Structure 1
């Protein structure tokens, strides 16, 4: 008679699988890169829309992103995690995305926020699930979950501000989400 498998046990590691430590380093690296990119997106939006009626709202979300970035910047240093080599790319791309969508109007800027935050929601949810039950990383998991809630607030704000009324919203949203997912994948690895 075969012994029953314990579903709560993780599968055995295969050659090439990342250790938990390597997974956590990837999480911190990509989260720091993502928050840096978010900072740059909001800086681009503020450069165009800072004095518009949506300026204070964008500034509020920007300030939350600065807090997220500082948290992950500190983790990079404390845990000696190598940051992504792509930060110069995200510096330019984030600002251009923010300014470019803002030039299309306030609703397009909000559509950008919604699309990015939906991609981040998926990303942070997967990270929190991966850390489930890991007592050593309970603080990291709590941070990710807290920031995920704030990112969802940004998404909801964007929707309330008419993101779905932006010109070509489905195309704009799909392109930004796809770009965000690609940036996540690349930043984990490079």
Structure 2
């Protein structure tokens, strides 16, 4: 699914330029969560109440996984940066993607509180596992670190796509719902940009690329299912 999408999206430099122009015209959806003057806006303080238990469970599972995923992503990039941060070519790339993930986690933490979602019980595992994955792949070399990013962001991009479809069932007239979907769409696009950056910087030249991608991708999918439940 993402392979098809990736073939028609802008390449990283073009997409980044397009995002910059779009942001200049209209702030990104997530910016409201970082703006103290908007802290009492109903879109960031309320959650849908008149929904079925099944739909409420869907919302809570989605945000629990998203928060855990952004936590793990932060620690993956920290692990990579601790190993490769001084590399003049790779270090700045990792730092740039890491800064974006830090913002993602900040916003997801706010969404978790807004929608009264219990964080995953696997919080420490996500942190430790993420750091280990990032550090180990970075020790394998720059290409392996980028292959890790490619595999992780592929799974996350697919996951955010699935969430956007599932959340169409939420009441669209509630002030928080359009914003939530816009934030997820924004974060999905960020993750796909990271995916393209990894490919542009030789992720597919990593030793045993297919095997590494399969292992990392499968691990991410298992982690998603576990965080939904715990």
> Do Structure 1 and Structure 2 share a fold, with TM-score over 0.5?
yes
**1:151 corresponds to 2:191:** yes
Distance 1:189 1:41 in 2: 22
**1:75 corresponds to 2:88:** no
Query: Once the two structures are superposed, what CA deviation does each residue of 1:50-98 show, in whole Å capped at 9, x if it has no partner?
Result: 0002000100000000011001101112222100000111111100000
Distance 1:141 1:26 in 2: 15
Distance 1:83 1:131 in 2: 19
Q: Which residue of 1 aligns with 2:204?
A: 164
Q: Which residue of 1 aligns with 2:58?
A: 23
* Count of residues in Structure 1 that have an aligned counterpart in Structure 2: 174
Q: Which residue of 1 aligns with 2:155?
A: 119
Q: Which residue of 2 aligns with 1:7?
A: none
Distance 1:38 1:101 in 2: 14
**1:107 corresponds to 2:143:** yes
Gaps of 5+ in 1: 1-16
Query: Once the two structures are superposed, what CA deviation does each residue of 1:5-60 show, in whole Å capped at 9, x if it has no partner?
Result: xxxxxxxxxxxx95211111111110000000000000000000000020001000
Distance 1:153 1:91 in 2: 23
8 Å CA contact 1:108, 1:163 repeated in 2: yes
Aligned CA-pair RMSD:
1.2
Gaps of 5+ in 2: 1-51
Distance 1:45 1:55 in 2: 9
